[in-house]
Structure 1
């Protein structure tokens, strides 16, 4: 099997409403779909959707790298290409994630298994996911109960957008109305000083909080450990994983949870390895997208289903409904469970941008 031809297909997907956080917001997701066609008729797909605010390379850098790499793939075997593109730390993570995904899609198809079962023979066919309900605004209660009616039990909120005092007041009001089994997952996106973080953490004591991501504007290992000891919920690191060097974090983890984004890490295989290392260090892992297209979500969901240590946690994959349109049919979610296809390889359906 060797690569016969390639395509780089641009797309622009508007959001139904602006995605907001303390780090800013965006109203559309732009990127490129990679298509690798082989001499045996198989096609592999990958999604490249750079998002600098999340930690990827700029779009123009990703596009240039992809053009250069794809121009040199004709006649090469997927195995040869995978060895070449998975060496070292990626300077273009979103682009490499896309190319690797397309290659792994081809491998799994050739072995007639789903991508998740290619990654792990004991992978599941569904993944527990959280609902993303945005910021603490005047309509948050309506959005929360809509998701609860759909069967979600973990709701994710962006905090750090307004003052800690205002957000705590509204958070308490929301929590008082929630059914007993509902948990809230909070993401501050590095919004607070150490004083504000302590104030907020003390303020959520007794609330049904699953976790709090990135509480510190300037992450510090000792301070993070101090904050984790101050609360019963899991503190989580996302954007600061690279800044604090994940290898050092695994030696003496200051928090209970890591948030892993394959589009930012640059590889499904590397993300799986990180999750395994984290599990050995007694650190929970949640795999999330960066509000990706249906192709990017599917790739990340296939990975999440292949990580056994994370099966009891809701993963951050249910973001497709934020898109006004998509490049393929989004995965079905039933009672808070994302259902994965049985199709060999990545399992993507008809591509609408092609």
Structure 2
């Protein structure tokens, strides 16, 4: 019996209004891919397609129609899945212009290939022997709410804190950074900031100079992408190490990736597999970064625990001591219950905790016939 693919939309609701420089987030829709054989329906591979509004190149009105057509084509092709042909199927079935769909199908196929147990990779993280270090994320909000988040993260054992900046006023944000530094040195607490491209050509140099006073680990995407000459200059002269994030989105060709990193020479790149087209395409960024002596870490793109689990397991395939951006599993009050837990600044996979897809199973299943 040929394998079948179906999808389900699912609306995730935030526990709080999550502030970014692009606006306030209160909900997010993901589409879950299910791959199975009708003759053996107990084995189901599940993946998540979760385009990020305003950022993913496949955040388009025809997203669901395209997803439905890809599922129909998958069902028509009478496919079998092996480790060697997953990338071939993805290239022929999805291509590069729908990165979150490619990520969802890749995750679902890997899950199916490994028995439908949500264990996509075989490593110490999946076996529960080793956690992945993560940063504590502080969302934009009022001065008081951001300070409260900082204190909560430090109390929870995080030694790396990442703050979203660029929305409440630069002086207020500097005051929060100054507060942290008055109480914790750079050796005690590492600080990252993410501007999401909020700075302009006229103010970026002065703001980076001011931010350097707080001994930051790095700043992500200080200016909007596609300002190549200015970004190259900033990567060279900035007193705060620069990490590229949005700059990487939409780049799928290996040669193009290498040219970009050679030209800009950032200190770090920040990788979101959902936005970059899945694991193999993300691996190209990692291998290129290694060859050019560029640091990297991986972050979620606000996926549910299904996507976060897949990304975390992939991250654990690499020996990277830098804290990763994978602490988003507690964002939603209707997230899919999973074995993922956070303890003392580490993401852990507790195999004694079961997956519970009751919420997802009660959602409608699309027709792809």
Q: How does 1:86-165 map to 2 (within 5 A)?
A: 86=91, 90-109=96-115, 114-117=119-122, 125-135=130-140, 137-165=143-171
Farther off after superposition, 89-98 or 294-303 = 89-98
Q: How does 1:24-103 map to 2 (within 5 A)?
A: 24-38=23-37, 39-40=39-40, 41-58=42-59, 60-74=61-75, 75-79=78-82, 82-86=87-91, 90-103=96-109
**Distance in 2 between the 1:134 and 1:286 partners?**
19
Tell me what 1:294 maps to: 305
**Distance in 1 between the 2:224 and 2:295 partners?**
22
Is the Cα contact below 8 Å between 1:56 and 1:263 reproduced in 2? no
Is the Cα contact below 8 Å between 2:339 and 2:354 reproduced in 1? no
Q: Describe the superposition over 1:44-99 as per-residue Cα deviations: whole angstroms up to 9, x where unpaired.
A: 01001121322241264332222112223343212456512135851111111101
SS in 2 for 1:147: helix
**Distance in 1 between the 2:300 and 2:9 partners?**
19
Is the Cα contact below 8 Å between 1:32 and 1:49 reproduced in 2? yes
Is the Cα contact below 8 Å between 1:228 and 1:254 reproduced in 2? yes
Is the Cα contact below 8 Å between 1:151 and 1:335 reproduced in 2? yes
**Distance in 1 between the 2:340 and 2:118 partners?**
18
Structure 1: gaps spanning 5 or more residues: none
**Distance in 1 between the 2:169 and 2:274 partners?**
31
Tell me what 2:346 maps to: 337
2:289 to 274, 278, 281: 278
Is the Cα contact below 8 Å between 1:11 and 1:33 reproduced in 2? yes
**Distance in 2 between the 1:3 and 1:125 partners?**
37
Q: Does 1:230 align with 2:237?
A: yes
Cα RMSD (Å): 3.0
**Distance in 1 between the 2:91 and 2:349 partners?**
26
Is the Cα contact below 8 Å between 1:124 and 1:306 reproduced in 2? no
Is the Cα contact below 8 Å between 1:100 and 1:267 reproduced in 2? yes
Tell me what 1:173 maps to: 179
Tell me what 1:314 maps to: 323
Give, in angstroms, the shift of residue 29 of structure 1: 1.4
Is the Cα contact below 8 Å between 1:210 and 1:233 reproduced in 2? yes
1:42/1:128 Cα in 2 relative to 1: closer, same or farther (>3 Å)?
same
SS in 2 for 1:299: helix
**Distance in 2 between the 1:81 and 1:338 partners?**
28
**Distance in 2 between the 1:113 and 1:5 partners?**
18
Is the Cα contact below 8 Å between 1:182 and 1:208 reproduced in 2? no
Q: How does 1:207-226 map to 2 (within 5 A)?
A: 207-217=214-224, 219-226=226-233
Farther off after superposition, 263-272 or 67-76 = 67-76
Q: Describe the superposition over 1:113-148 as per-residue Cα deviations: whole angstroms up to 9, x where unpaired.
A: 942338x99x98421111111126222222112111
Q: Does 1:16 align with 2:19?
A: no
Tell me what 2:365 maps to: none
Give, in angstroms, the shift of residue 330 of structure 1: 5.8
1:103/1:125 Cα in 2 relative to 1: closer, same or farther (>3 Å)?
farther
1:177/1:113 Cα in 2 relative to 1: closer, same or farther (>3 Å)?
closer
1:342/1:107 Cα in 2 relative to 1: closer, same or farther (>3 Å)?
farther
Is the Cα contact below 8 Å between 1:272 and 1:307 reproduced in 2? no
Is the Cα contact below 8 Å between 1:294 and 1:330 reproduced in 2? no
Give, in angstroms, the shift of residue 336 of structure 1: 0.9
